[in-house]
Structure 1
Amino acid sequence: MKKIFLVFFLIPIGLLNAQDTLRLTLDEAIALACRQSPQAVAARHQYRASYWNWRSFKADYLPSLTFSSNSSLNRSISPVTMPDGSDSFVKRDQLLNDGMITVNQNIAPLGGSIYMSTGLQRLDIFSDNQVSFKSTPVVIGYSQNLFGYNYLKWNKRIEPVRYAHARKQYSETLELVASATAMKFFQLATAQSNFQSASYNYANADTLYRYAQGRYEIGTITENEMLQLEINYLSEQTNRLNARIEMDDCILDLRSFLGITENVEIVVEISRDVPEFIVPLEKALSFAHQNSPDTELFYLQKLQSESAVANAKASRGFKADLYLEFGLSQTDRSFSNVYSNPLNSQLISLGIRIPILDWGVGRGRVEVAKSNLEKVKIELAQAQTDFDANVMKLVKQFNLQANKVDIAHRTNERAQRRNEVAYRLYLLGKSTVLDLNAAIEEKDRSQRAYIQELQNYWSLYYGLRSITGWDFANERQIVLPFE
Structure 2
Amino acid sequence: MKKGWKYVGGMACWMASAINLSAIELNLPQAIRLANDSSIEAFRSQNLYLSKFWEYRNYRARRLPSLTLNMVPMQYNRDIVKRYVSDLDRDVYRTQQSLYSYGNLSVTQNLDWTGGTFYIDSEIGFFRNFGQITTNQFSTVPIRVGYSQSLVGYNPFKWERRIEPVKFELAQKELIYNMEGVAVSVVSYFFNLALAVADCEQAEKYEEVCQKLYEDGLEKVKQHALSKTELLTLELALIEAKNACITYENTRSKAAFALAAYLNLPQGEDVRIQVPEGIPVDFIFREKALYYMRENHPVYREQQQKIIEAQQNVDKTWKERFMEANIDLSVGFNQVADEIGSAYRRPMQQDMVSVGVKIPLVDWGIRKGNYKMAQNNLKVVKRCTAGGVGCGRRNYFNRE
TM-score normalised per structure 1: 0.73
What secondary structure does 2:34 align onto? helix
**Structure 1 residues 335-414: aligned runs within 5 Å:** 335-382=340-387, 386-388=395-397
* Map of 2:6 onto structure 1: none
Aligned amino acid, residue 115 of structure 1: Y
CA drift of 1:232 comes to: 1.9
CA drift of 1:132 comes to: 2.2
**Structure 1 residues 429-468: aligned runs within 5 Å:** none
What secondary structure does 1:327 align onto? strand
* Map of 2:125 onto structure 1: 121
Instruction: Between 322-331 and 74-83, report the one with greater CA deviation.
Output: 74-83
CA drift of 1:17 comes to: 4.8
* Map of 2:297 onto structure 1: 292
On the 8 A contact 2:385/2:395 being kept in 1, the answer is no
Quickly say closer, same or farther: Cα 1:16–1:282, change in 2 above 3 A: farther
Aligned amino acid, residue 75 of structure 1: R
Q: Does 1:106 align with 2:115?
A: no
2:275 to 270, 274, 289: 270
CA distance in 2, matches of 1:159, 1:389: 25
CA distance in 1, matches of 2:321, 2:307: 22
Aligned amino acid, residue 366 of structure 2: V
Quickly say closer, same or farther: Cα 1:151–1:174, change in 2 above 3 A: same
Instruction: Between 150-159 and 203-212, report the one with greater CA deviation.
Output: 150-159
Which sections of structure 2, spanning at least 5 residues, go unmatched? Answer: 1-12
CA distance in 1, matches of 2:369, 2:104: 45
1:106-138 Cα offsets, whole Å, 9 max, x none, are 122322211111111222233223222121100
2:23 to 17, 21, 24: 21
1:239 to 237, 244, 251: 244
* Map of 2:45 onto structure 1: 43
CA distance in 2, matches of 1:327, 1:28: 67
What secondary structure does 1:173 align onto? helix
Quickly say closer, same or farther: Cα 1:91–1:385, change in 2 above 3 A: closer
On the 8 A contact 1:148/1:319 being kept in 2, the answer is no
CA drift of 1:226 comes to: 4.0
CA drift of 1:227 comes to: 4.0
CA drift of 1:365 comes to: 1.8
* Map of 1:421 onto structure 2: none
* Map of 1:329 onto structure 2: 334
Q: Does 1:74 align with 2:77?
A: yes
**Structure 1 residues 419-430: aligned runs within 5 Å:** none
1:167 to 172, 189, 198: 172
* Map of 1:317 onto structure 2: 322
Aligned amino acid, residue 396 of structure 2: F
* Map of 2:97 onto structure 1: 93
Which sections of structure 1, spanning at least 5 residues, go unmatched? Answer: 1-12, 393-483
Q: Does 1:205 align with 2:210?
A: yes
2:35 to 25, 33, 36: 33
CA distance in 2, matches of 1:289, 1:176: 18
On the 8 A contact 1:317/1:355 being kept in 2, the answer is yes
CA distance in 1, matches of 2:382, 2:15: 60
CA distance in 2, matches of 1:15, 1:182: 31
* Map of 1:420 onto structure 2: none
Aligned amino acid, residue 72 of structure 1: Q
Whichever structure has more helix as a proportion of its residues is: 1
CA distance in 2, matches of 1:162, 1:219: 83
CA drift of 1:237 comes to: 0.8
1:290-345 Cα offsets, whole Å, 9 max, x none, are 22211111111111221222232233223212111211011112222221111001
Aligned amino acid, residue 39 of structure 1: E
CA distance in 1, matches of 2:398, 2:24: 41
CA drift of 1:244 comes to: 1.0
CA distance in 2, matches of 1:86, 1:62: 57
Instruction: Between 184-193 and 147-156, report the one with greater CA deviation.
Output: 147-156
Quickly say closer, same or farther: Cα 1:322–1:83, change in 2 above 3 A: farther
Q: Does 1:150 align with 2:155?
A: yes
CA drift of 1:177 comes to: 0.5
CA distance in 2, matches of 1:110, 1:151: 10
What secondary structure does 2:100 align onto? strand
> How many residues are paired up?
379
Q: Does 1:248 align with 2:253?
A: yes
CA distance in 2, matches of 1:206, 1:248: 24
On the 8 A contact 1:97/1:122 being kept in 2, the answer is yes
CA distance in 1, matches of 2:265, 2:361: 67
CA drift of 1:90 comes to: 4.4
Aligned amino acid, residue 324 of structure 2: K
On the 8 A contact 1:16/1:265 being kept in 2, the answer is no
CA distance in 2, matches of 1:316, 1:42: 42
Quickly say closer, same or farther: Cα 1:81–1:146, change in 2 above 3 A: farther
CA distance in 1, matches of 2:266, 2:104: 55
1:70-104 Cα offsets, whole Å, 9 max, x none, are 12222333124679997554442321212111111
TM-score normalised per structure 2: 0.87
1:193 to 188, 193, 198: 198
* Map of 2:7 onto structure 1: none
Give the share of equivalent positions with the same residue, in percent.
26
Coordinate RMSD, CA, aligned? 2.6
What secondary structure does 1:386 align onto? coil
CA distance in 2, matches of 1:278, 1:205: 45
Quickly say closer, same or farther: Cα 1:223–1:65, change in 2 above 3 A: same
What secondary structure does 2:395 align onto? helix
What secondary structure does 2:104 align onto? strand
On the 8 A contact 1:24/1:269 being kept in 2, the answer is yes
What secondary structure does 2:119 align onto? strand
